[in-house]
Each structure stands twice: as C-alpha cells, then as structure tokens.
Amino acid sequence: MQIAKGRGVRVMIDNTFATPYFVKPYTLGADLVVHSATKYIGGHSDVTAGVLVGEPSLVEQAKKKVIQLGMNVSPFEAWLTTRGLKTISVRMNQQSQNAAEVATFMQEQPGVKVYYPNTLSDHGNGAMVSFDLGHQFDAYTFFKSLQWIRIVPTLAGVETTVSYPLKTSHRSIPSDLQKRLGITEGLVRMSVGLEDRGEIIEELRLALAAAKK
C-alpha cells in the first residue's frame, strides 16, 4: 500500500474473506474496499450482493455507474444483507475458532500442505482454510467420500463447504499460470462453518482415510 501511495496510485482491496470483523483496510489506508456480501456479510447463502466502501468521492463515482447500468440490489436482497450483518461478529468468531482447529488437524496429516493465516487479527484468522492433498491422497475420492460437507461453486455460508479451484473458480486460467499460483490437482478450498468442530474434523478424517493412496 505504501508503494502505491508513494506513486499516486489508488488502492482497492477485496476484503471478502477477511471480512470487516477481522480487517478494516480503509482504516489502514486503502482508498476503496470491496466485499462480496453474498459471502460472510450476508452469511446464509441466500443473497447475491456486493458492497463498496471507502473514499466518498470515489464511492459516488461508482454509485453513478451502478445507477446507469442497473446493477443495484433489490430491497429484499438489501434487507437480507443487513440482517446477516447483524450477526457477523458472532458467526465469524465461532467459524474462525473452528477453522483454526481444522487447520491444525490438516497440518498433522502427512504430505498435506495447509494455507491458513496466523496473524490476520486479534479477533482470529478467518474461516477459510485451503489445503493441498499432494500425492498422498486422491482428490476425487476425497470429495466423493464426504458425507454431509457439500461441494459448492461458492463459499462462506454458515455451513462447512468445500470447492475444487482447479475445476471451478480457476478453471479458465492457463495451466502454466495455475501451476505458478499453486492451483494443483490436490488443492481444496474449505469454508469452515458453525457446526461442532469435532464433527467437522471427523468428517475430514474419514474422507482422508478413504482417499489415501
């Protein structure tokens, strides 16, 4: 951010997964902050919405574009979003605690590489855990062996869900770039929900046992 500011470049940060509960980029110097409110702000997988906050003059420019292009949310979706926002601190606190336990469990599995922050904020480190199963496990068998954890195209509701970046969110990226970004055949993205953390870990344990080569 300091490099951009030193060159007169505006900074916009996507804070969707960190959420305003853990990180407030605008107070740290960002000009604009964008959230997919479809995810943790709404929190219940029942709304499609986005939020832009930041420098008033820039937000006003964006607002005019939204009006011109007709991209504003409906009153009902706006209500669902504000309803979800009321419980974001309670949800994110619990989901973050669960995610930390899941990350620790996955780090104990031989050959598995875990991606989870450990210094995100004083409140916790978020609910997103990614892990690469490597060569010790078959990813397709892992997904097929999950019983109640659902495979979904998007993430960040109150339920624990997983996605497969190689075949969904990052499927259109050239293969050489996928490799450089770490989008491998074994990469799993997991949004850890509100369920009992012991049940989440047991579900993962069973799926890993089935997928072990």
SS3 33: strand
Q: Write down the architecture of domain 2-85 according to CATH.
A: 3-Layer(aba) Sandwich (3.40)
SS3 127: coil
Per-residue pLDDT band for 159 (boundaries 50, 70, 90) equals: very high
Asked whether residue 124 carries a pLDDT value surpassing 80, the answer given is yes
Same fold, 2-85 and 90-211: no
Instruction: Tell me how far apart the alpha carbons of residues 110 and 137 are, in angstroms, rounded to a whole number.
Output: 10
Instruction: Tell me how far apart the alpha carbons of residues 22 and 53 are, in angstroms, rounded to a whole number.
Output: 16
Q: How confident is the model at residue 67, as a pLDDT?
A: 86
- Each residue's pLDDT tens digit, 22-42: 999 999 999 999 999 999 999
Whether 35 contacts 72, CB under 8 Å? no
Mean pLDDT of all residues belonging to the chain: 92
Helices 197-211 and 88-107 sit at what angle, rounded to 10 degrees?
Answer: 40
50 token code pair: 């986005």
Mean pLDDT of 50-75: 90
Instruction: Tell me which of 2.60.40.10, 3.90.1150.10, 3.40.50.1370, 3.90.550.10 is the CATH number of domain 90-211.
Output: 3.90.1150.10
Domain edges within the chain: 2-85, 90-211
Asked whether residue 202 carries a pLDDT value surpassing 80, the answer given is yes
Q: How confident is the model at residue 176, as a pLDDT?
A: 84
